[in-house]
């Protein structure tokens, strides 16, 4: 393979990835900016924040006997000036549009600031700390789920492409309707059965309370808590996955080049790997990207149902108490996670699909 040829290939791959990265970055920027705009739609956030500042100022003043003793005009003056100070401290006096761009820049550089009310487990108010505390549980649960589902459905799909019409095939096709219901729904039922009736598995959370001291037991406890959420996702998403992969591989196994390979006596295992799986890798990767996108969203509800201490529940808390900076921070991280996963998959796609290497 000539050096020149190899270099041209790399350039083409690079260009492909570059364009994709640009597209994804555009999504990122738009998503975050939209978040910032929506979070302050109609001046809601500002209104809420201002009124809460007022409340807090009056609260503190009411506990101060010296303030109470003053005549009402004086009190008002002091209250107003304190409120004004607070507003300036929190930066709320500038018009929103100007602030929005600064927020955007901050968010993009992951300079997420401090929360208004929420604190991390360690007591920090820095949003970065809060989020990094909640991020690993989310990634743990959903990466595991997605990876297991992905490999299982490919495996089942490949096996079934050889056994068309068999009992196993009919079983898988007949169970595709299980996927019409989302994972969190099955989650509720699994909790009903295993936590409420049989009492063998926990209702929710990530780890026993109080958490075990030594790492091994801690890990086991986490695993025990992962069983139900993971299970709910496996039941919900493997059936349709296996069904569509099976259909996909079946159609591909009818392709001329597969038939020709059979005519040449290529062993079935090699046909599966080289003639069915390899050519279909690009579309499989594309559909995996789509699944990932959807799963980050479904993640939120599942976390809520299982009280899993991840980004989803953080989001819910933040919305519940109007902590705008946290809301923006969480969505920023979600957008980043999504963007990163998409780019990684695009890179894999570029490597795997020879047409990219050749045509760009």
Partner 1 sequence: MEEILRVENLYLYFRTSRGDVKAADGVSFSVKRGESLAIIGESGCGKTSLARALIRFLPRNVSMYKGKIILDGIDIMKLSDKEFDEKIRWRKISYVSQAAMNSLNPVIKIVDHLVEPLILKNMASKKEAVERAREILKLVGISEDFLDRYPFELSGGMRQRVVIAISLITRPDIVILDEPTSALDVMTQANIMNLLKELKRRFKLTYIFITHDIGTSSELADKVAVMYAGKIVEFGTAEQVYTDPLHPYSKALLNSVPRLHEERVPTFVPGSPPSLINPPEGCRFRPRCPNAMPICVKDPPVVKIGKNGYVKCWLYAKK
Partner 2 sequence: MSARLRETIKLLFKYKSFVIGLFIIMLFIVLSAYAMLTIPYDKAIKMWNSIEYWKDYPKLAYPAWINKFSAKKLPEGTIILDSRKKGLGISKTVQEIVFGGKGVLININMEFNYNYDDFPSEVAMWFYINTTQPMLVKVTWIKPDGTSHLIYKEVLSTYQYYRLTGDLKLISDFTAYITKLLGRKPEYQMTTEIALFAKEDESILSKETIKLVKGRYKIKIEARGDDPNANLDVKVDIYGKVYGLLGTDDKRRDLLIGIMWGAPLALSFGVLASVMTVFLQMIIAAVGAWYGKWVDHLISRVNEIIMVIPFLPLLIMISYFYKFSIWTLLFVVVGLSIFGPGIKTYRAMFLQVREMPYIEAAQAYGASNFRIILRYMVPKVLPTIIPNIVLSVPSFVFLEAALAILGVGDPQAITWGKILDEAYVGGALYWGLYHWILAPSLCLVLISVGFALMGFTLDRVFNPRLREM
Q: Which residues bind partner 2 (CB under 8 A)?
A: 23-24, 26-28, 30-31, 34-35, 38-39, 41-42, 44-45, 164-165, 176-177, 179-182, 184-185, 188-189, 191-192, 195-196, 203, 247, 250-251, 254, 290, 293, 296-298, 300-301, 304-305, 315-316, 319-320, 327, 330-331, 334-335, 338-339, 342
- Is 20 a binding residue for partner 1 by CB under 8 A? The answer is no
* 8 A C-beta contact, residue 49 and residue 324: yes
* 8 A C-beta contact, residue 178 and residue 236: yes
Stretch that binds partner 1, among 32-40, 43-51, 89-97, 259-267 (CB under 8 A): 259-267
Q: Which of 259, 268, 293, 340 binds partner 1 (CB under 8 A)?
A: 259
Residue 168 site contact among partner 1, partner 2, none (CB < 5 to 8 Å, cut-off depends on kind) = none
Q: How far is the CB of 285 from partner 1 (least distance, A)?
A: 13
* 8 A C-beta contact, residue 183 and residue 298: yes
Q: Which is nearer to partner 2, 31 or 276 (CB)?
A: 31
Handedness of CA 84, 90, 95, 98 (dihedral sign): positive
Distance (Å, whole) CA 46 – CA 39: 9
User: What are the φ/ψ torsions at residue 213 (nearest 5 degrees)?
Assistant: -75, -50
Q: Which is nearer to partner 2, 219 or 319 (CB)?
A: 319
Residue 255 site contact among partner 2, partner 1, none (CB < 5 to 8 Å, cut-off depends on kind) = partner 1
Q: Which of 5, 15, 47, 62 binds partner 1 (CB under 8 A)?
A: 5
Q: How far is the CB of 250 from partner 2 (least distance, A)?
A: 6
- Is 358 a binding residue for partner 1 by CB under 8 A? The answer is yes
User: What are the φ/ψ torsions at residue 321 (nearest 5 degrees)?
Assistant: -115, 20
* 8 A C-beta contact, residue 127 and residue 329: yes
What residues contact residue 100 under an 8 Å CB cut-off, 6+ apart? 33, 36, 37, 40
Q: How far is the CB of 259 from partner 2 (least distance, A)?
A: 12
Q: How far is the CB of 282 from partner 1 (least distance, A)?
A: 9
Residue 1 site contact among partner 1, partner 2, none (CB < 5 to 8 Å, cut-off depends on kind) = partner 1
Identify the residue whose tokens are 């789920």: 145
Residue 301 site contact among partner 1, partner 2, none (CB < 5 to 8 Å, cut-off depends on kind) = partner 2
269-298 positions binding partner 1, by CB under 8 A: 270, 274-275, 278-279, 281
Stretch that binds partner 1, among 150-158, 175-183, 263-271, 316-324 (CB under 8 A): 263-271
Q: Which is nearer to partner 2, 57 or 141 (CB)?
A: 141
Residue 39 site contact among partner 2, partner 1, none (CB < 5 to 8 Å, cut-off depends on kind) = partner 2
Q: How far is the CB of 76 from partner 2 (least distance, A)?
A: 31
Angle at 52 between CA 46 and CA 53, to 5 degrees: 90
Residue 91 site contact among partner 1, partner 2, none (CB < 5 to 8 Å, cut-off depends on kind) = none
Distance (Å, whole) CA 206 – CA 129: 19
Q: Which residues contact partner 1 by CB under 8 A?
A: 1, 5, 164, 255-257, 259-267, 270, 274-275, 278-279, 281, 352-355, 358
């Amino acid at each position: 393979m000539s050096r020149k040829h190899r270099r041209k290939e790399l350039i083409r791959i690079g260009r492909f990835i570059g364009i994709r990265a640009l597209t994804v970055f555009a999504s990122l920027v738009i998503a975050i900016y939209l978040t910032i705009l929506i979070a302050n739609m109609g001046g809601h956030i500002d209104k809420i924040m201002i009124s809460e500042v007022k409340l807090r100022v009056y609260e503190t003043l009411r506990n101060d006997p010296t303030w109470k003793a003053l005549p009402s005009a004086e009190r008002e003056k002091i209250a107003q000036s304190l409120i004004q100070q607070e507003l300036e401290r929190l930066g709320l006096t500038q018009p929103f549009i100007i602030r929005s761009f600064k927020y955007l820049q901050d968010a993009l550089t992951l300079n997420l600031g401090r929360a208004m009310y929420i604190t991390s487990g360690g007591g920090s108010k820095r949003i970065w700390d809060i989020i990094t505390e909640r991020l690993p549980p989310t990634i743990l649960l959903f990466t595991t789920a997605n990876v297991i589902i992905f490999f299982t459905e490919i495996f089942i799909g490949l096996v079934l492409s050889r056994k068309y019409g068999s009992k196993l095939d009919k079983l898988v096709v007949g169970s595709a309707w299980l996927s019409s219901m989302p994972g969190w729904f099955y989650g509720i039922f699994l909790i009903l059965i295993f936590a409420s009736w049989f009492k063998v598995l926990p209702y929710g959370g990530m780890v026993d309370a109080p958490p075990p001291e030594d790492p091994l037991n801690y890990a086991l406890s986490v695993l025990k808590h992962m069983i139900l959420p993971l299970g709910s996702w496996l039941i919900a998403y493997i059936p349709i996955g296996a069904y569509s992969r099976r259909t996909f591989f079946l159609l591909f196994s009818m392709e001329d080049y597969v038939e020709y390979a059979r005519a040449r006596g290529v062993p079935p295992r090699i046909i599966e790997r080289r003639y069915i799986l390899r050519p279909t890798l690009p579309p499989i990767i594309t559909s995996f990207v789509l699944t990932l996108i959807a799963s980050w969203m479904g993640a939120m509800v599942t976390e809520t149902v299982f009280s899993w201490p991840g980004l989803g529940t953080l989001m819910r808390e933040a919305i519940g108490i109007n902590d705008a900076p946290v809301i923006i921070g969480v969505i920023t991280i979600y957008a980043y996670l999504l963007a990163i996963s998409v780019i990684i998959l695009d890179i894999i796609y570029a490597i795997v699909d020879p047409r990219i290497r050749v045509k760009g």
